């Protein structure tokens, strides 16, 4: 594992202080211990063997869309891609809920992981397979939470390929399994949730008072060509472009006029949407006659959306998002195991914001939104 850049910079700063004071043999400057916040990480990936095996079969096929290319590159957790014979360290961490994951949580003072089936979830499968896989994954998640009720919550999967079956599974997941919300991995068959055929899913989430986390996947085939080079289809750019596009379709379509109490969560500091809200509002009013939503984009975003910090450990970005949304609409996340626990924890520990805001971001907002047990 590479040396953490901030550790190197911190050590360099300590040496510079010693040199400046001329203190021979001076001891390193001691850091104050971080406050003992309760920490709930809200975008933490998890897998079951059956999902991994089914995805591996897809990766061995001749299908060559961007998601499958990404899986062949190894993101499914198999050495050399899904066709590899042995699990990589990433894959082992994805499947684990009883060993190393808990050890790292204890080491870094993380109280809970909110688990979700790793992207692309069940959304690459044929409808019947997706329905059964979502049900199996939700059953397994409930079993994990039952084993570790103080350490894990979970977001339920469903199969958008079959909206009626999706609604049935959403109701079962919340009412019977007591899961804490829902996860969808952006588009399904190159379609988005603003389309009327998917409105029953949005209606069910609102009626169940359960948040819907829209998680990234690679861009849809309809927008794939510019992302096919330079690894642009993945986290470096394509994930946020795809997921942000999905969210903006929902915002601009007016569908949230129909479901005003629906809560939607976006990771990665809002998938770039907060940085475009001023311009979106400007053009919403400039072209008001053709807009579908009754509210300007920033008002929809501030009413219906929350964001998490997953995979963006930059205090400048955090400060900007706090100015737009306030501390009640931001939650902490690690994005484990795609991101490491220690740097994500240190980022929020050291963020130059009031302790009251840290308490909201670290755990209070997640407890409220996902109905997670308080300490």
Q: Residue 141: is its pLDDT beyond 50?
A: yes
- As a whole number of angstroms, the distance between CA 174 and CA 182 comes to 9
pLDDT for the residue numbered 356 = 97
CB 245 within 8 A of CB 227: no
pLDDT for the residue numbered 6 = 35
272-306: burial string, b at 16+ Cβ within 10 Å, e else: bbbeebeebbeebeeeeeebebebbbbebbeebbb
- As a whole number of angstroms, the distance between CA 125 and CA 139 comes to 19
Q: Which of 314, 335, 355, 357 is catalytic?
A: 335
The domain limits of the chain are 40-370
**Mean pLDDT of the 176-183 span:** 98
- As a whole number of angstroms, the distance between CA 306 and CA 233 comes to 24
> Is the model's pTM score more than 0.95?
no
pLDDT band at 14 (very low <50, low <70, confident <90, very high): very low
Element (DSSP H or E) covering residue 72: none
Q: Hey, what are 181's tokens?
A: 């919300």
Q: Hey, what are 140's tokens?
A: 């397994």
pLDDT for the residue numbered 27 = 42
Task: State the pairing for strand pair 112-117/264-266.
Answer: unpaired
Give the chain's end-to-end CA distance (angstroms, integer): 33
Q: Residue 22: is its pLDDT beyond 50?
A: no
- As a whole number of angstroms, the distance between CA 320 and CA 311 comes to 16
For 40-370, CATH gives: 3.20.20.140
The better pLDDT of the pair 179, 59 is held by 179
Residue partners of 200: CB distance under 8 A and separation at least 6 = 163, 164, 166, 167
Any idea which of 7-11, 210-214, 315-319 has the lowest mean pLDDT?
Answer: 7-11
pLDDT band at 20 (very low <50, low <70, confident <90, very high): very low
pLDDT band at 2 (very low <50, low <70, confident <90, very high): very low
**Mean pLDDT of the 186-192 span:** 97
Any idea which of 195-199, 230-234, 368-372 has the lowest mean pLDDT?
Answer: 230-234
Query: Is 67 a known active-site residue?
Result: no
The CA–CA distances, whole Å, from 270 to 8, 254, 370 equal 29, 19, 18
Q: Residue 340: is its pLDDT beyond 80?
A: yes
Q: Average per-residue pLDDT in the chain? A: 89
């Amino acid at each position: 594992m590479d040396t953490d850049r901030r550790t190197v910079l911190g050590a360099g700063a300590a040496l510079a202080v010693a040199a400046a004071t001329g203190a021979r043999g001076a001891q390193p400057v001691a850091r104050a211990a971080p406050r003992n916040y309760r920490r709930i990480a809200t975008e933490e990936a998890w897998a079951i063997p059956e999902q991994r095996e089914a995805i591996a079969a897809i990766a061995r096929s001749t299908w060559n869309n961007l998601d499958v290319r990404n899986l062949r590159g190894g993101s499914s957790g198999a050495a050399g891609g899904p066709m590899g014979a042995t699990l990589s360290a990433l894959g082992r961490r994805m499947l684990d809920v009883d060993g190393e994951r808990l050890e790292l949580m204890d080491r870094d003072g993380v109280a809970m992981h909110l688990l979700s089936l790793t992207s692309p979830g069940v959304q690459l499968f044929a409808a019947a397979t997706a329905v059964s896989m979502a049900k199996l994954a939700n059953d397994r998640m409930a079993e994990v939470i039952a084993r570790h009720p103080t350490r894990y919550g979970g977001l339920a999967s469903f199969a958008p390929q079959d909206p009626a079956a999706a609604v049935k599974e959403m109701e079962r997941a919340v009412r019977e399994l007591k899961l804490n919300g829902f996860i969808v991995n952006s588009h399904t068959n190159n379609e988005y949730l603003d389309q009327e055929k998917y409105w029953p899913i949005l209606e069910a989430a609102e009626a169940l008072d359960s948040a819907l986390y829209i998680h990234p996947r690679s861009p849809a085939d309809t927008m794939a060509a510019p992302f096919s080079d330079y690894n642009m289809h993945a986290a470096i750019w394509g994930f946020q472009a795809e997921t942000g596009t999905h969210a903006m379709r929902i915002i601009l379509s007016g569908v949230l006029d129909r479901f005003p109490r629906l809560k939607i969560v976006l990771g990665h500091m809002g998938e770039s949407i907060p940085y475009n809200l001023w311009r979106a509002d400007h053009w919403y009013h400039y072209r008001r006659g053709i807009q579908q939503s009754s509210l300007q984009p920033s008002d929809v975003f501030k009413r219906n959306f929350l964001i998490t910090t997953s995979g963006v450990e930059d205090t400048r970005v955090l400060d900007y998002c706090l100015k737009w949304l306030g501390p009640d609409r931001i939650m902490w996340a690690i994005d484990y195991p795609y991101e490491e626990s220690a740097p994500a924890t240190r980022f929020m520990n050291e963020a130059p914001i009031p302790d009251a805001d840290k308490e909201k971001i670290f755990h209070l907002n997640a407890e409220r939104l996902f109905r997670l047990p308080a300490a």
